[in-house]
Amino acid sequence: MSYVRLVNVTKRFGDVTAVDNLNYEIGKGECFSMLGPSGCGKTTTLRMVAGFEDLSDGEVWVGDRLLSSPKKNHYVPPEKRNFGMVFQAFAVWPHLSVYENVAFPLRIRKLDEKEIDQRTMDALKATNLVKAKDESPDFLSGGGKQRVALARALAINPDVMLLDEPLSSLDPHLREEMRFEIKDLQQKYGFSIIYVTHDQSEAMALSDRILVMKLGVVQQIDTPLNIYNNPANKFVFSFIGLSNFLSVKNDGSLVLPNHEGNIPQSFTLPERLVGEADLSLASRPSEIDFTTMEDPEGLHGVVTRKAFLGEIVDYQIKIGDQFMRVQKSRRDKGPEPGENCALHLLRPFWYAENE
Amino acid sequence: MSQVKTKSSFGVAQLILFLSIAVLVVVVAFPVLLILFNAFWVEDHFNFDGAIMILQQPATYQALKNSLIIAAMSTIGSTIVGTFFAWLVTRTDLPHKKFMKAMFLVPFMLPSFIGAMAWKMLLSPNAGFINQFFMQHLGFTGPVFNIYSYLGISLVEVMYLFPFVFIQVCGALERMDPTLEESARISGAGLFTITRKITIPLVLPSILSGALLIMLYSMAHFGTVAVLGIENGIYNIPTLIYERIHQSGGSFDAIRTGTVLATVLVISAALIIWAQRKILGSGHYQIIGGKSFRPMELKLRGLRMPMMIFCFLYIGFTILLPTVVIFLVGSLKTYGLSFSPENLSLDNFKFILFEYAVTRDAIVNSVTLGFTAAIITMFAGVMISYVIVKMKVRGKGILEFLGMLPFSVPGSVIALGVILAWSGQFGVNFYNTVWIILLAYIARYMAFSLKANSAALEQVHDSLVEASRACGATMWQSLKDIVLPLVKPGMLAAFFLIFLPSLRELTVSIMLYAPTTRTIGVAIYTLNEDGETVISAALAAIALIIIVIGQFIINHFSKKAGV
């Protein structure tokens, strides 16, 4: 069942189209991430949903409530949208105590004192802030500040929570901890989340579905697993997880530049790429096995570097004049630098070179 | 291995520290101490009651009260005006915001006593142009506004002092993380509530710090009150000190009254500075954000055009009108004639630039004094700041304390102090020479130089010098090749920060001038007092031109140097 709906949402700044004809629907209680490199339009989209940016075209709906529609000249200001929102730079108010920060949205709604106190304390309990309630948030750590921001957003019991890179100002170890705290809070309160991030592991860990965006255009919307396993295009493949790309020429048969040695027999192009001359062979470093030099499925190369990263051993393999990364567990025995080797690509993907 | 000399610069460090302390003692501390000494030490014994008695005399008590009244009114007025305009140009969709912002900073460079003169010409009760216009053409029986009043003086001060608050609040609002306001908005607060509950409280430290600066300035301000108050018997502390010293020719009683009043100024200045540091130190929130989206702009909608017209009217009325009046009156053949083309000429300007010795000397005096003071203060400031910011040497604490002094000693106090110190009692008599003015300028502007230079030096991280030493350079080579080029913009800034204001200086010079050592400010003021209104206005016009050109040169340089 769809709850938040974006219909043909478009944003133009002068001649630049920052968000181009975006359509998606989010179910109630769903956690939906918008993922992409900086400048891809994900934050602009979130700010349009929040009401901080006007739409150039399209509509934003929540339930049966129309929030923005330039065509119908309809616009609900942010303060009337009833969203919770958490910002990257925390945006907690240093002149108010932790308690007053959280109580602020409730006081604005003119609830009676008893209810304000109860809901504020509930939100503070849920975020482990009861002890710090009378302090200024200036004295809290980054994680503490972000908890205050979360509690403040929770206090109004929102249907939709907008999170704008909420963890990227935090230390890496705190980031993982907060990630699961957010997930727990969502399960407890049942709100929908729209989550903006450039960190794919964050998006993977939290989301029911992920939208990958590039230059204002949607590349793929799917579950984390499907996005990882079946990337819609070369960009999505490169943005999610580690990736290798090899240039391959196609003049009837497939040729790797300056490469002598075996090319796997099973390399065949998907239908849509048969006529394409310049191709790109994509693979993940963790989905490659070493095989024997005699294996007809082996891609021959030379080990140029072997780095021990703890649990993982990272190889650099030279294939023709191109390089590939291979990652194996430290328990697998692999070749040494300078040795010839053969690679078995478990899940090769083919894309046009200039996609 | 050869022995490493660890204390090779020990002697040099001590020498520099000693020199720095000496400069500050001679120039600032000694004169100020003499004031305190003279205020409380009478006939070989400590006399506190005597000082209190002087303050209880009707005239001195009134001057104290006046200083407070005028400072309070000016501070409140400037804070409201400055905060309002700052909010308008940073947080609304007011048209021509950039232009407005530049214009609101113009009063910074205009001397307020010249503005006061212009307002006297416009609004003096009987002869003011505006009052006359209302009485002659609109049938008013009396003046519409009397500028010779507390309100008049305070309003003129507001016109010239509000940029102190404006610039501080603008800076705070521009640097403030916009998501602090957006998060209030998404919490359900409207723009009015956000401004009241979030924005204003967050920039309150900046507002208060600007307000205290204005308070400090206004308490000790001479020019406006001298031009507009004395006529109606309104004296504040600096004008009363001037009046007493000037009339009595330096009698014991006058000096004593002066020192007691000056002591009051020093104490209130110290209190204000202390309060300001406290506000800036503890109450200053970290409100600078990471991600910078455009801050939200309040759509003024129906008020957009009226607000723009209001701003233009304000600029026209407070900046353009007084300037035009000064230029027009400066071109008149005789004061009192109408502004018709046949009464206007450039003769006055020719006269003061080429023929009249008093004004010609004044211009030469001001330029040489300003230049010399700026050069000396700039170099002394670099040396002292270097010791305070960079050097680790015993006895630095004394210098740090002395370095605070220049910030809290008002101009009229310095003038009185140098009179006490350098008119013969201690073997050196500079009285009635340019040297005493030069010493006073150095003391007065040392604070500017210390501020600009220590800011520049703090930017130069110690590791830069350490890297240079590691590359094999000696301490002196590192200073010359690394530190000096990096602090050059700060030094240049210090030079201009001193040179330009000294061209229009009045508070100090008026206490120290002799017939041959008038400065531009003194010449304008005394000519005006003597009834030479047109000549005085013409000189004021020339001063304005010099100041504006100077400001252009600074802007040009600082753009090039990237200051």
Going from the N-terminus, what domains does chain B have, and what CATH number goes with each?
49-171+202-280+309-329 (1.10.3720.10), 342-563 (1.10.3720.10)
- At B234-248, the pLDDT tens digits run 999 999 988 888 887
- For residue B8, is pLDDT > 60? no
Please give the ipTM for the structure prediction. 0.79
B200-219 helix and B150-175 helix, angle to the nearest 10 degrees = 140
Q: For the sheet containing A160-164, what is the strand order?
A: A83-86, A160-164, A192-197, A31-35, A209-214, A217-222
Q: What is the mean pLDDT of residues A16-30?
A: 91
This prediction's pTM: 0.80
Confidence label for B317 from pLDDT (cuts 50, 70 and 90): very high
Q: What is the DSSP string of B131-176?
A: HHHHHHHS--SS-S--SSSHHHHHHHHHHHHHHHHHHHHHHHHHHB
Helices marked H in B92-139: 97-105, 112-123, 129-137
* Tokens found for residue B394: 């015993």
A91–B183: do the CB atoms touch at under 8 Å?
A: yes
CA distance B563 to B554: 10
* Cβ neighbours of B182 in A, within 8 Å: 50, 52, 78, 85, 87, 91
* Cβ neighbours of B298 in A, within 8 Å: none
Distance from CA of A79 to the nearest CA of B (A): 4
Cβ–Cβ contact B200 with A under 8 A = no
A50–B193: do the CB atoms touch at under 8 Å?
A: no
- At A25-75, the pLDDT tens digits run 999 889 999 999 988 899 999 999 998 888 999 999 998 899 999 999 888
Q: What is the rounded average pLDDT for all residues in chain A? A: 89
Smallest Cβ distance to A79: which of B179, B188, B202? B188
> B494 with B406: CB under 8 angstroms?
no
* Tokens found for residue A101: 């920060």
Distance from CA of B300 to the nearest CA of A (A): 16
- At B47-90, the pLDDT tens digits run 778 788 888 888 889 999 999 999 999 999 999 999 999 999 98
Which residue's entry shows tokens 């210090």?
B494
CA distance A43 to B99: 32
- Strands (DSSP E) contained in A227-276 are 244-250, 254-255
- At B428-454, the pLDDT tens digits run 788 788 899 999 999 989 988 888 888
> B349 with B542: CB under 8 angstroms?
yes
Q: Which amino acid is at B559?
A: K
* Residue of A62, A87, A167 best to disrupt the B interface, most CBs of B under 10 A: A87
Domains by residue range for chain A, with CATH? 2-234 (3.40.50.300), 242-352 (2.40.50.140)
* Tokens found for residue B54: 């002087």
pLDDT of residue A4: 92
Smallest Cβ distance to A169: which of B187, B285, B290? B290
- At A190-242, the pLDDT tens digits run 899 999 999 888 899 899 999 999 999 999 999 999 999 999 899 999 998 88
> B519 with B562: CB under 8 angstroms?
no
pLDDT of residue B552: 85
Q: What is the mean pLDDT of residues A139-160?
A: 89
Cβ–Cβ contact B193 with A under 8 A = yes
Distance between terminal CA atoms of chain A?
Answer: 34
